[in-house]
Amino acid sequence: GEFERLPQSPVQMAGSNRWVTPLPDFDEFRYWALVQAGFYQVIGYPDGKVRVRAKSIAFRNMEQMEFEKVYSAVLDVFLRYVLSPKRGWSRERVDRLVEQLVNFD
């Protein structure tokens, strides 16, 4: 699918001189996209820290208007952070990737 073709560039691990190439993980990518699109909840922990978690979204059970809102928000995230035309991403390829994301269970 389109997800497997996303570029994976080496990154430097925080606080070290070590460089790693991240493994593509579709679930993590999906969660990241949903959080960036504003579909998250903040979870509190006993030590006082909080974490942001992607909301569990059942796309297949959504009303059409709600689906279009989520689809549009996720598409905006992809266009802003990941899928620029400079990297060879046409609107059709972007749509296929968003379809892959929202139809994944």
Domain locations along the chain: 25-102
In one-letter notation, the amino acid at residue 62 is M
Residue with more model confidence, 105 or 60: 60
Asked whether 70 and 62 are in contact (CB, 8 A), the reply is: yes
Residue with more model confidence, 80 or 47: 47
Measured in whole angstroms, the distance separating CA 34 from the mean position of its chain's CA atoms is 6
Asked whether 52 and 45 are in contact (CB, 8 A), the reply is: no
Rounded CA-CA distance 28/33 in Å is 9
Measured in whole angstroms, the distance separating CA 5 from the mean position of its chain's CA atoms is 14
91: confidence class by pLDDT, cuts 50, 70, 90: confident
